[in-house]
Copies of this chain bind each other. A is one copy, B any other.
Amino acid sequence: MTDVNTMPGHLIRRYHQASVAIFHARVAELGYDLTPVQYAALAKIEAQPGIDQVTLAGLIAYDRTTIGGVVDRLVQKNFLVREVSATDRRARVLKLTELGETTLHQLAPTVEAAQQQMLSGLEPGEQAEFVRLLQKATAGVNQMSRAPLKEAE
């Protein structure tokens, strides 16, 4: 494993790069300008309207200092509303706007197609096994990141 091109870390970086590029290309085809991270945030907020930023970050494994900027951009694009929580004045609660809802639903099939394209280098029989191993490997190193996934209780 002396060649960096065969090291898992380097492969992961490249695969991630391509994955983002595929997502962008597909979404741009529909005339939208939304990043993978922004999409994931919208999807989770739809599932849990009124969620605060820290909880959201935990549910999708974002860094707490990154989520603020992501939310900023989504608010600026009028996909989200951010308000001070009624019960905890430190917290900002997040809700989708009508436009956010619509956009999310219109993008869903495209995002599905992008996921398929990311796996397109594998035989159909290999894809499920790869995703299974990817989930397992990711779960195994979850705690190493500053932004680990925190499942809902």
A-to-B contact residues, CB < 8 Å: 1-2, 4-23, 25, 36-37, 39-40, 43-44, 60-61, 108, 111-112, 114-115, 117-122, 126, 129-131, 133-142, 144-147, 149
A43 partner residues in chain B, CB cutoff 8 A: 4
B contact residues around A1 at 8 Å (CB) = 112, 115
Report the copy number of this chain in the oligomer. 2
Main secondary structure of the interface of A (DSSP, over half): helix
A126 to B132, CA, bound (A): 11
Task: List, sorted by A's number, 17 A–B pairs whose CB atoms are closer than 8 Å.
Answer: A4-B44, A9-B19, A11-B138, A13-B37, A14-B142, A14-B149, A18-B145, A21-B145, A25-B144, A118-B141, A119-B137, A120-B141, A121-B138, A122-B140, A129-B133, A130-B134, A130-B137
Of the residues B7, B16, B112, B129, contact of A115 by C-beta under 8 Å: B7
CB atoms of B6 and A135 under 8 A apart: yes
Q: Are A8 and B133 in contact (CB under 8 A)?
A: no
